């Protein structure tokens, strides 16, 4: 099948909800797929995962694992045959594969939304159409466009237009000479240069939108990134100024509406020192910053993903505890040297309100997301104190 394939017809949402007992399919076998599978199975659904890795985290816990490439015709045909509806767990699943599946089964999110999220230039154009401000930027695909970059965009951050995530495919550039070197270092691939802005904080919003247009959201999440990878998420009243939070929610709703989106969508924002809010990027799936919702809210982002795919009613999640989430990267296994040593989970779990999630990955390596730890409690002060103690025991820098 060609990667450029486009289908003219897609299967519409089922006229009635898919009830427990049906099989829900997911493209991708990573940790997000694993947590989707857990949520679906808890609600009584069967699951099918397509991922080429025979030991993928989601594949290992699903009822069915189709271990083929994402564009393998036989694998896609089997996933369609096994599933009543199909979603995705990461944004770089080939849009053509979702397009192929949509000819036989209801697919959410659709290939069109994925294609926009997979290309930073198209993504930023969509934000602009929706009236949501983003950082000043320029698209660089040719030497002429490189030469035409406005001086005002420097210093900036050069990002590949496609396939970049967790800080990969990015370079900070101070001037034109550095920009030229960085673009060459990225293989002269199509890129977006974004002006560096004075940040006060980062935040994100997770929304769920049904096929009927109904939409709900999680509380706004304050995020801390280190080396381009999410390190800490804090969710409690006033973690983000109320007016900024309201603005972020409305912007996210506009972005989802503009896509005609069905599924769970996360949009990340920069809060600037001058009080403005600008959009950074979107992820057409559940998001690392929403993991806290498994313990901290009565409806998690993964249950919302199940509900949107199955056509079940969407109810607004209610946060019932302040929450802080710590990302657990493979670096924690190598604190003592070159040999991997399992962190002392017992000492962390001795702290009240700690909830450990390990993703079942075969081996740890620096920068790899191995799991997360969510801390909940009766008060913000209690949760912060516990989270800082847990971070200290794990060797995570304080925040």
Mean pLDDT of the residues in the chain: 95
What number is the average pLDDT over the span 177-193? Answer: 96
Retrieve residue 46's tokens.
Answer: 């069967």
CA–CA dist 57, 144 (Å, integer): 44
Domain co-membership, 95 together with 144:
no
Say if residue 220 is in the same domain as residue 182. no
Specify the pLDDT at position 164.
66
What are the structure tokens assigned to 111, written together? 């290939």
pLDDT, position 167: 62
Residue 8 pLDDT:
52
Q: List pLDDT tens digits, range 265-319.
A: 999 999 999 999 999 999 999 999 999 999 999 999 999 999 999 999 999 999 9
* DSSP assignment letter at 330: G
| Contact indicator for 266, 280 with CB cutoff of 8 Å | no
Q: In the prediction, which pLDDT does 166 show?
A: 64
pLDDT at 189 over 70: yes
Residue 228 lies in a domain: yes
Spatial distance between the Cα atoms of 343 and 78, rounded to a whole number of angstroms: 39
Crossing angle of the two packed helices 120-129 and 242-259, in degrees rounded to 10: 110
Cross-strand partners of 297:
319
Q: What is the mean pLDDT of residues 48-68?
A: 97
Q: Which residues pair with 107 in a beta bridge?
A: 86
Query: What token pair was written down for 249?
Result: 């929610």
Please check whether residues 266 and 346 belong to one and the same domain: yes
pLDDT in tens, 76-88: 999 999 999 999 9
Residues 298 and 187 in one domain: no
Share of the chain above pLDDT 90, in %: 92
Please give the pLDDT value at position 204.
98
Are residue 164 and residue 212 in the same domain, yes or no?
no
How high is the pLDDT of residue 2?
36
Assigned domain for 184 exists? yes
- Same domain flag for 100 and 178: no
pLDDT in tens, 15-38: 899 999 999 999 999 999 999 999
The whole-number pLDDT of residue 361 equals 95
* Secondary structure class of 215 (helix, strand, coil): strand
**Same structural domain for residues 339 and 220?**
yes
* pLDDT for position 338: 82
Residues 169 and 263 in one domain: no
Helix (H, G, I), strand (E, B) or coil at 24: strand
The domain boundary residue, chosen from 146, 167, 195: 195
| Count of CA atoms in the C-beta half-sphere (13 A) of 335 | 14
Considering its fold, how many domains does the chain have in total?
A: 3
Which of 195, 216, 242 corresponds to the end of one domain?
Answer: 195
Helix (H, G, I), strand (E, B) or coil at 176: helix
Same structural domain for residues 99 and 209?
A: no
Residues 327 and 269 reside in one and the same domain: yes
Q: What is the DSSP letter of 111?
A: H
List the one residue out of 353, 326, 282, 309 whose CA is nearest residue 17.
309
Asked, for residue 251, whether it belongs to a domain, the answer is: yes
Give the domain CATH number at 54: 3.40.50.20
273 and 328 within one domain? yes
| Residue 384 belongs to a domain | yes
pLDDT given at position 5: 41
Domain residue limits at 325: 199-394
CATH of residue 180: 3.30.1490.20
Rounded to 5 degrees, what are φ and ψ at 237?
-60, 135
DSSP secondary structure, 116-162, as one string: HHT-HHHHHHHHHHTT--B--EEEE-SHHHHHT--GGG-SEEEEESS
Q: In the numeric block, which tokens belong to residue 133?
A: 């401000």
For residue 166, tell me if it sits in a domain. yes
**Neighbouring-strand partners of residue 66:** 50
User: Rounded to whole angstroms, how far apart are CA atoms 391 and 328?
Assistant: 10
Q: Is 130 within a domain?
A: no
Q: Tell me, what's the pLDDT at 168?
A: 74
Is-contact 283 164, C-beta < 8 A? Answer: no
Q: How far is Cα 245 from Cα 67, in angstroms, rounded to an integer?
A: 41
**Percentage of residues in the chain having pLDDT higher than 70:** 97
| SS3 label, residue 23 | strand
Burial of 230 (0-12, 13-18, 19+ CB in 10 A): buried
Integer Rg of the chain from CA: 21
**What pLDDT is stored for residue 4 in this prediction?**
39
Does residue 349 belong to any structural domain of this protein? yes
Per-residue model confidence as pLDDT tens digits over 220-271: 999 999 998 999 999 999 999 999 999 999 999 999 999 999 999 999 999 9
End-of-domain residue from the set 107, 128, 149 = 107
Residue 259 in any domain: the answer is: yes
Look-up of token digits 């498994």: 294
SS3 string, 239-303, reads CCCHHHHHHHHHHHHHHHHHHCCCEEEEEEEEEECCCCEEEEEEECCCCHHHCCHHHHECCCHHH
- The encoded tokens of residue 143 equal 């030497």
- What are the pLDDT digits (tens) for 333-380? 999 888 999 999 999 999 999 999 999 998 999 999 999 999 999 999
* pLDDT at residue 1 in the model: 37
Does residue 100 sit in the same domain as residue 222? no
| pLDDT of amino acid 57 | 98
Please tell me the number of Cα atoms within 13 Å of 210 on its side-chain side.
Answer: 20
């Amino acid at each position: 099948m060609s990667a450029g394939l486009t289908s003219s017809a897609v299967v519409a949402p089922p006229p009635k909800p898919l009830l427990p007992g049906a099989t829900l399919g997911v493209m991708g076998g990573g940790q997000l797929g694993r947590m989707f599978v857990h949520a679906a199975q808890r609600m009584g659904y069967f699951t099918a995962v397509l991922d080429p890795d025979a030991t993928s985290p989601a594949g290992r816990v699903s009822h069915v694992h189709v271990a083929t490439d994402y564009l393998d015709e036989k694998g896609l045909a089997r996933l369609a045959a096994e599933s009543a509806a199909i979603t995705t767990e990461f944004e770089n699943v080939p849009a053509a594969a979702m397009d192929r599946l949509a000819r036989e089964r209801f697919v959410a999110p659709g290939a069109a939304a994925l294609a926009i999220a997979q290309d930073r230039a198209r993504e930023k154009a969509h934000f602009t159409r929706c009236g949501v401000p983003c950082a000043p930027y320029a698209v660089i695909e040719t030497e002429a466009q490189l030469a035409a970059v406005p001086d005002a965009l420097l210093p900036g951050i050069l990002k590949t237009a496609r396939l970049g995530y967790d800080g990969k495919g990015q370079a900070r550039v101070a001037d034109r000479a550095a920009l030229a070197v960085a673009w060459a270092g990225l293989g002269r691939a199509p890129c977006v240069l974004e002006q560096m802005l004075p940040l006060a904080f980062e935040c994100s919003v997770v929304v769920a939108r049904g096929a009927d247009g109904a939409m709900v959201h999680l509380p706004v999440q304050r995020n801390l990134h280190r080396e381009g990878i999410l390190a800490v998420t804090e969710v409690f009243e006033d973690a983000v100024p109320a007016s900024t939070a309201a603005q972020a929610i409305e912007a996210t709703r506009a972005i989802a509406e503009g896509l005609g989106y069905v599924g769970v969508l996360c949009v990340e924002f920069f809060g600037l020192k001058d009080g403005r809010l600008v959009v950074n990027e979107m992820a057409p799936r559940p998001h690392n910053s929403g993991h806290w919702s498994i313990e901290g809210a009565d409806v998690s982002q993964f249950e919302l993903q199940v509900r949107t795919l199955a056509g079940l009613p969407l109810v607004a999640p209610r946060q019932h505890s302040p929450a802080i989430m710590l990302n657990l990267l493979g670096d924690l296994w190598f604190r003592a040297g070159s040999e991997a040593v399992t962190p002392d989970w017992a000492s962390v779990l001795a702290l009240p309100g700690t909830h450990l999630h390990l993703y079942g990955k075969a081996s740890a390596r620096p920068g790899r997301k191995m799991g997360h730890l969510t801390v909940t409690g009766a008060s913000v002060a209690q949760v912060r104190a516990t989270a800082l103690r847990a971070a200290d025991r794990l060797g995570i820098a304080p925040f």
